[in-house]
Structure 1
Amino acid sequence: MRDISHTKNHRFYPEIDRLCFLSKNLYNYANYLVRQSFIFEHNYRHYYDLQKILHTQSDYQAIPAKVSQQILMILDRNTEEFFSSKRSLSKEPIKV
């Protein structure tokens, strides 16, 4: 197992840390938009909707476009899996 203190001294650490921070912000903001849309509009925002909305957002633009798109695709997949699980749970509730 590696000692984490050595990785902070790595020459790429500041850039990786910055990109992780921007990625987290983009994911969380997109997730917020999906949740707000579902709660208040009863509408699900898919990847393409999010991409159109967020392509001008600063965190989206600060990350390479392919990476930003993959982050939104991951969120879309996670959200679809959540709703799928929710549907299956409503059909067959877990008995405790």
Structure 2
Amino acid sequence: MLLVVSIAVLAVGTFAFRFAGPALRSRITFPPQVTKLLETASVVLLAALVVTSGLMEDGVLAGVARPTGVLVGGLLAWYKAPFAVAVVGAAGTAAVLRLFGLP
């Protein structure tokens, strides 16, 4: 029962956040400096997430294959490859490196 209640609370909270964005967009304005800061902060947060999940596994370095796969996926995305191509390229790179015995 606790699990169902937790899921319901999270679902309502997620819906509230998603609804609040468009509903409050025209009512709240930020100064241009704050808007630029928020845009930069979102990029930095996403980059930190990629670096953390791409380089670490269980609190230690993940080896060579995973960071190389993340690098290949990032390069493909940088060169505007379709999302599926970037994901398959990253996964394929990591898989081939692991096939050759690299961790």
TM-score by length of 2: 0.31
The higher-RCO structure (CA 8 Å, 6+ apart) is 1
Specify the structure having the higher radius of gyration (Cα).
2
